[in-house]
Amino acid sequence: MTEYWNPQIERMPLDELNKLQEDKLRHIVHYVYQHSPFYRKKFDDNGVKPEDIKTLEDVKKLPFTYKKDLRDTYPTGMFCVPNTLLVRFHVSSGTTGKPTVVGYTKNDISEWNTSLARALTSIGVGRGDIIQVSYGYGLFTGGLGLHYGAEEVGTTVLPTSAGNTERQIELMQDLGTTVIACTPSYFLFVNETAKKEGISIKNDTKLRVGILGAEPWSEAMRARIEDQTGIKAYDVFGTSELSGPLFTECTYQDGIHIWADQFLVEVVDPETGEELKDGEQGELVITTLAKEALPLIRYKIGDLTVKKSEPCRCGRTHPRIMRIMGRVDDMLVVRGINVFPGQIESVLMNVPEVGEHFMIIVDRFNELDYMKVQIEMTDAAFSDKVNDIIKLENKVASAIKNVLNLNVKVELVEHGSLPRSMGKSKKVIDNRQL
């Protein structure tokens, strides 16, 4: 039986939901114009006034907001409330540039918790569950975000944060953890460490659900994780600028539910900014409808996805986005061909002999790009005949060639030699001086 955190909202008929969104959109546009000098200028520069926004269609008249805007106004130049009303800051890692600061009012935290409470309920997580939050705690939004969301639904939280993996496994067994929240790469590492200690996640723990995200991962990787560990693995989505982890799939695992009373989602052509139809892949654009401290108008997150507007089989009417294929800035251009690490992962995970870890290395010699994919030798795939190993390398290379139409060199490396990650994993080394 499907359960809902707030059935009135989650199952609201589409026309009512649209009406609610429209009211909230009109409100937020006036709100930012009034409280944010940044947005007032942006609207004026683009010749748009809050009064011009009457229907949901009118959202197209509004200018986009970029990550760069947050950096340019560092630390709090885009905030709409004085600092005295803030109850928390989070700060992004700044791996791709200057860090960005996000502030939250008491209501912002409450809305964040509500979003996650609905999400957790939609995957059957609640009272009686013990959730191990293995996302990093601290400035990163993953740990504290999941922590309070889980408390909201009455789950018992085990705030392990990331790292100290042997201890995580010990606690998982001793306290009977049923749910884990972490990056997919960290979960693989937990599984691998458990195996080394002779512990099977499937048979020796009570773990039944994984809330995995904060980095792109493929459907094929999900199949592997579920098969090896016996859990149901759910994709979680969010980004610090929007608060943090906010949304998950429901038990149907058919797209991530974006709560329409809190956020307005669009998918646009990354180049032209034109709105795309349901089912067309493009860049995710989100307008916050309920945030007070740092509302964002048409924020271009940089994630590539596909939107689905029809109601889900679970009864929820809110729109869904499909698994994030990658980030616009993760895309590699190799010999003129667009390559996302996620595509490579998908291919690799469909070859049974290949393990879960890989590294993509791109080099340029004599003006030509060369891509190499390193994969680890596994016990199952090992043959002591050189020919068999070369055959396996060729098999993987031709599988990649079939999908990407790109010649890659596949190199088998020793088991355990590729880096393991506690958080977001690095899967690409680009040595080119571009």
Partner 1 sequence: MENKIIKQISLFAENKPGKLSNIAHKLKDAGINIRAFTIAEAGDFGIVRMVVDNPDSAHSILHNSGFTVSETSVLGIEMEDVPGGLARIAEVLGEQNINIDYAYAFVTKTEKALLIVRVNDIKGALKVLTGANIKLIDMKDIEEYLI
Q: Please report, as ranges, the residues that interact with partner 1 according to CB under 8 A.
A: 377-379, 382, 384-386, 389-390, 411-417
Other Cβ atoms closer than 10 A to 306: 20
Residue with tokens 């089989």: 313
Nearest approach, Cβ of residue 284 and partner 1 (Å): 39
Residues 131, 132, 138, 139, CA torsion sign: negative
Nearest approach, Cβ of residue 371 and partner 1 (Å): 15
Give CA–CA dist 335/297, Å, rounded: 36
Contacts of 353 (CB under 8 A, 6+ apart): 378, 380, 381, 392, 395
Nearest approach, Cβ of residue 389 and partner 1 (Å): 7
Give CA–CA dist 291/144, Å, rounded: 18
Nearest approach, Cβ of residue 382 and partner 1 (Å): 5
Please identify, using beta-carbon distances, which residue of 411 and 430 lies nearer to partner 1: 411
Please identify, using beta-carbon distances, which residue of 17 and 377 lies nearer to partner 1: 377
Query: CA triplet 108, 26, 24: central angle to 5 degrees?
Result: 40
Give CA–CA dist 131/151, Å, rounded: 10
Please identify, using beta-carbon distances, which residue of 416 and 419 lies nearer to partner 1: 416
Nearest approach, Cβ of residue 374 and partner 1 (Å): 9
Nearest approach, Cβ of residue 375 and partner 1 (Å): 12
Nearest approach, Cβ of residue 398 and partner 1 (Å): 18
**202 within 8 A of 172, measured Cβ to Cβ:** no
Enclosing H/E stretch for 51: none
Please identify, using beta-carbon distances, which residue of 275 and 411 lies nearer to partner 1: 411
Please identify, using beta-carbon distances, which residue of 165 and 239 lies nearer to partner 1: 165
Please identify, using beta-carbon distances, which residue of 192 and 219 lies nearer to partner 1: 192
**194 within 8 A of 200, measured Cβ to Cβ:** yes
Give the distance from CA 8 to its chain's centroid.
27
- Say which amino acid occupies 433: Q
Please identify, using beta-carbon distances, which residue of 281 and 378 lies nearer to partner 1: 378
Other Cβ atoms closer than 10 A to 228: 16
